Amino acid sequence: MRQLLTTALDAATDAGATYVDVRVLEAVSESLSTRGAIVEGLDRSESLGYGVRVLRNGAWGYAASPRLDLGEVSRIARMAVEVAEASSTSQTRPVELVDEPVHVATWVTPVERDPFAVSLEEKLGPLLEASEAMERVKGIRVGRGTMDLHRQRSWFLTSEGTDLDQTIVNVGAGIEATAVNDGDVQQRSYPGSFRGHFEAGGYDIVERMDLAGNAEQTAEETLALIRAPECPAGTTTLVLDGHQVMLQVHESVGHPTELDRVLGMEAAFAGTSFVGIPELGSLRYGSEHVTIQSDATSPGGLGTYGYDDEGVEAQRVDLVREGILVGFQSSRETAAAMGADRSNGTMRAEGWENFPLIRMPNINLLPGSGSLEDLISEVEEGVYMSTNKSWSIDDKRKNFQFGCEIGWEIKRGKLTRIVKNPRYTGITPVFWGSCDAVAGEDEWRMHGTPNCGKGQPGQTMRVGHGTAPARFRGVSVGVSQ
Amino acid sequence: MSRDFAEVPVDHADARRAAESVLDFPGADDVEVSVMGSQTGVTRYALSEIIQNTVRNEVRAYVRVVTGRQVATAVTTQLDAGHMNRAAASALEAARQSRPDEEWPGLPSPDVVGHAQGCWRYDDATAAATPKERAAQVVRLLSASEADNTSGVFETSAHSFSVLSSAGVDCADAHTRCVTTCLVDTGEATGWGEDSSHRLDRVDAEAAARRALDKARRGTGAIDAPTGRHQVVLEPAAVATMLEYLSYCGMGAKQFIDGESFLIGQTGKQLAAPGITLADDVWHAHSVGIGFDFEGVPKKRVAVIDQGTATGPVTDWRTSRKLKTEPTGHYSGSTEFGPYASHLVLDRGGDSLDELISGVDDGLLVTRFHYVNVLDRPSTLLTGMTRDGTFRITKGEVGGAVHNFRFAHSVLDALRSTSGVGRELAAFAPDYGSFGGTVAPALRVEDFNFASTTSH
């Protein structure tokens, strides 16, 4: 690997690059899925390749390949320089990078039980047990179990001397029941939707989920949804569980505070942001209960690492402090563009194929106090919604509509009947401004989404969110049509 | 100047050599190998300069191994015999630890499903486009946009695909693609233009920029318009997005079998206006794709909605056996996900865009949608935002711009209330990945629901 890294670095430097970084990545993954008694998917994947990123004439170039012979490595490095020269034909101002100390380090995700050392038989066991148990419940059409395991090791070398070796391990698993009745399809999942709950770490995380032990309740709640009335429309108090707060943070705080979006670099595809650099330190983003951090050091997060993909050390920074916008997620280039001294280390790339972008590490809503029960007990009338189901937000991240799998009406401080298709809508700063409580540390969990999309060519990224249930007043709910 | 790419991404002979190293893997009853190669150059620009510029070569071999009724797949990015054998061994080990799949239909044989042919929408000049050529296109596009905040991509790519199996499948295809997108931001409003084809010389980036500029200029002075139900003209980009989500709502046989498809109970019934014929058709002149699916089953044109009437879902080998029909060649590569319609074509009608607009007394013109998602699959209820050019139509004339809306509407309801279909077809490349694409005209829809609005 060392020879590949130095060959690429030398070839790009010899071709005239003024900055070079080379990233070699080896990834292995395993994806299991069961439906009832059938193993529908049993897929293993290995990916090995490298990417060379250069600056030449003040412009970026990137080239990547899985072909490992040194002749091809040199060709790809020279290609990156050729790409940068082409980029410079439209350049109006040269790319500048803020300084970052040179790092020579090894970093590894702490893992209690290596998920790739566990037999497939052991891994399939709880999935099959759960999916079969759900399909045995009368009225359940489909019971499904999924498990996704991922390990990647990267070697990173720059012309500035940074030399890194990182290994990251993620696991995820979940179950889902589907019921169908007269044109109505309802789904309920555990412990999270869209293939379950994801964290960084070992197989012990999956073991603690007790998928099989939760199959019956998941199936019963699905059937209850089929029988339930629609969530009534109106303006009311909304309590969200931690899973849905994850989605709320992701879409309406994580993305709008990505500095590339703020600067207009993602305008054509993902969009821009309703916040701007001049508003830093003054914009009221939410109530005083809302403090949100970008934290690449949080234990267990899908966005937890030692160094980002341009060699910047992982950091924890405030984005929103007691309701005021105080920070952005940045890169070395965008930090320079806004006049900051240092990148806060959020550049990541999917695989070896892709140019790194600003990607959320772990965007965490800090806990408040009390329990979920306490939050609900202070609601005269409202709705409690759980587990994300749908999401849509405008190109400036302001007007949103989100939906959950299940809701419960709240009457006089107690959960009452289940309601189906619960959805709510809002305007980002107004919604966060209506937050009057966040539950405490005992309710705070690290959640993860492995499929955040951004960039062209499209990249999906693993992102973490530490959240607790939260309460919002005066929210428009039940707003499907 | 060197070429980015010296050859078709992965020549079929190289794919066959890789596959033959494992097709008779010891201990396996059957083996299937799919080899995908791609070479992609994407020049991405924003703030009227190139900001990211990438060239990437990719290779992936999918090795599916069968022992008895136990099946597993392993993927590798290296085609040498050592890595291929390691992948086959890994898949076999996994299959042996799995449980027998009582619904496993075996690998499809060409003697039963037919021998696949390639579409070969491949253009050497597009495959050979250099970074300098892409940058030159962007420079011309930026000049045509006349703005200091223009963004988008100019992309050229080449893709190859081979499938070989111990059941006798041996087929290959390759295609190229050129895509340009352009967003012009004048500071007061944004406008959009895009173009795509399998040939670089059929993509007019400057024209896309001029369309974006025109939309942005006309977007100045946008005002609020009332939410609620409106007569609308949806331009092709907006229609294409709706159709792609309609596919997600259940055009595949797996969703149909599982009871989650909008097609359940609808076969033979009127689902849309008589002017609506929606097919999955990789063979259409504007489509870009491969002529068979991930199992090497020939891909057929399937009119899921034919002159307004529902026919049935697209199938793969496995689901066709369950439904006792012929496979239509739409295996997605995932048994969990099932077959998928990824080359939608909505037949053209007889009206120009101006004629569609002239039939609107009081309504809206929508350029495109943003961040659409499904709210309810069986009813095909979607939500999403308009962006980059939403205008009032009054007495058949396009008027001033309005602020963007959030819509909440069923695709099938929109197709039912369609009163006019455009005669110009536009082709759209997918946002993610090399496969798929949608071909769509503009539509005039009599009743379309906008739930809320935003301030831009």
DSSP conformation letters of A152-195:
EEEEEEETTS-EEEEEEEEEEEEEEEEEEETTEEEEEEES-TTT
| pLDDT for the residue numbered B435 | 77
**Which residues in chain A touch residue B381, judged by CB atoms under 8 angstroms apart?**
480-481
Give the SS3 label for residue A134: helix
| pLDDT for the residue numbered B8 | 77
CB contact under 8 A, B75 and A47: yes
For an interface test with A, the pick among B3, B77, B180 (most A C-beta atoms closer than 10 Å) comes out as B77
B-contacting residues of A 62-121, CB under 8 Å?
62-68, 76, 79-80, 82-93, 119-121
**Which residues in chain A touch residue B451, judged by CB atoms under 8 angstroms apart?**
401, 425, 479, 481
Q: What is the CA radius of gyration of chain B?
A: 23
Using one digit for the tens of pLDDT, what is the confidence trace for B384-410? 999 999 999 999 999 999 999 999 999
Name all domains of chain B by residue range, CATH numbers in brackets: 12-211 (3.30.2290.10), 222-453 (no CATH)
Query: For all residues of chain B together, what is the average pLDDT?
Result: 95
Residue A480 tokens read as 């499907």
Cβ-Cβ contacts under 8 Å between A and B: the total is 278
For an interface test with B, the pick among A4, A43, A75 (most B C-beta atoms closer than 10 Å) comes out as A43
Pick the residue from chain A with its C-alpha nearest to B95.
A42
If residue B281 lies in a helix (H) or strand (E), which one and from where to where?
none
If residue A297 lies in a helix (H) or strand (E), which one and from where to where?
none
Using one digit for the tens of pLDDT, what is the confidence trace for B151-186? 999 999 999 999 999 999 999 999 999 999 999 999
CB contact under 8 A, B99 and A124: yes
- Closest by CA position to A173, among listed A154, A151, A199: A199
Q: Say which of B47, B59, B138 has its CB closest to residue A66.
A: B59
| pLDDT for the residue numbered B430 | 82
Each domain of chain A, given as residue ranges in start order, spans: 2-227, 234-477
Confidence band of B311 (pLDDT split at 50, 70, 90): very high
The Cα B136–Cα B43 span in angstroms is 10
Cα dihedral A159, A164, A165, A171 sign: negative
Phi, psi angle pair for A410, to nearest 5°: -110, 125
**Which residues in chain A touch residue B159, judged by CB atoms under 8 angstroms apart?**
none
Chain Cα centroid distance, residue B95: 32
| pLDDT for the residue numbered B6 | 47
- Asked if pLDDT for residue B4 goes beyond 50, the answer is no
Chain A: nearest CA to B259, how far in angstroms? 6
Is A353 in CB contact (< 8 Å) with chain B?
yes
- Closest by CA position to A275, among listed A262, A259, A288, A260: A262
For an interface test with A, the pick among B79, B182, B322, B383 (most A C-beta atoms closer than 10 Å) comes out as B383
| pLDDT for the residue numbered B404 | 96
- Asked if pLDDT for residue B355 goes beyond 50, the answer is yes
Give the SS3 label for residue A217: helix
CB contact under 8 A, A64 and B259: no
Q: Tens-of-pLDDT digits for all 481 residues of chain A?
A: 899 999 999 999 999 999 999 999 999 999 999 999 999 999 999 999 999 999 999 999 999 999 999 999 999 999 999 999 999 999 889 999 999 999 999 999 999 999 999 999 999 999 999 999 999 999 999 999 999 999 999 999 999 999 999 999 999 999 999 999 988 999 999 999 999 999 999 999 999 999 999 999 999 999 999 999 999 999 999 999 999 999 999 999 999 999 999 999 999 999 999 999 999 999 999 999 999 999 999 999 999 999 999 999 999 999 999 999 999 999 999 999 999 999 999 999 999 999 999 999 999 999 999 999 999 999 999 999 999 999 999 999 999 999 999 999 999 999 999 999 999 999 999 999 999 999 999 999 999 999 999 999 899 999 999 999 999 999 999 865 5
Q: Say which of A67, A87, A480 has its CB closest to residue B50.
A: A87
Give the SS3 label for residue B103: coil
Q: Answer yes or no: are the C-beta atoms of B91 and B65 closer than 8 Å.
A: yes
| pLDDT for the residue numbered B3 | 36
B-contacting residues of A 311-350, CB under 8 Å?
none
Q: Answer yes or no: are the C-beta atoms of A216 and A361 closer than 8 Å.
A: no
Residue A399 tokens read as 């007007």
Q: Say which of A39, A60, A395 has its CB closest to residue B385.
A: A395
Residue A44 tokens read as 């293993």
Q: Say which of A38, A86, A392 has its CB closest to residue B372.
A: A392
| pLDDT for the residue numbered B433 | 60
**Which residues in chain A touch residue B390, judged by CB atoms under 8 angstroms apart?**
none
| pLDDT for the residue numbered B40 | 95
What's the whole-number mean pLDDT along residues B276-286? 97
Residue A316 tokens read as 């924890």
Using one digit for the tens of pLDDT, what is the confidence trace for B172-229? 999 999 999 999 999 999 999 999 999 999 999 999 999 999 999 999 999 999 999 9
Please report, for residues A205, A305, A433, B197, the alpha-carbon distance to residue A463 in angstroms, rounded to integers and kept in the order given. Answer: 17, 11, 25, 34
| pLDDT for the residue numbered B2 | 34
Higher-confidence residue: B7 or A361? A361
| pLDDT for the residue numbered A92 | 87
DSSP conformation class of A137: S
The Cα A363–Cα A342 span in angstroms is 19
| pLDDT for the residue numbered B434 | 65
Written as one string, the DSSP assignment of A327-339 is: --B--HHHHHHTT
Tell me the CATH number for domain A2-227: 3.30.2290.10
CB contact under 8 A, B336 and A41: yes
| pLDDT for the residue numbered B5 | 39
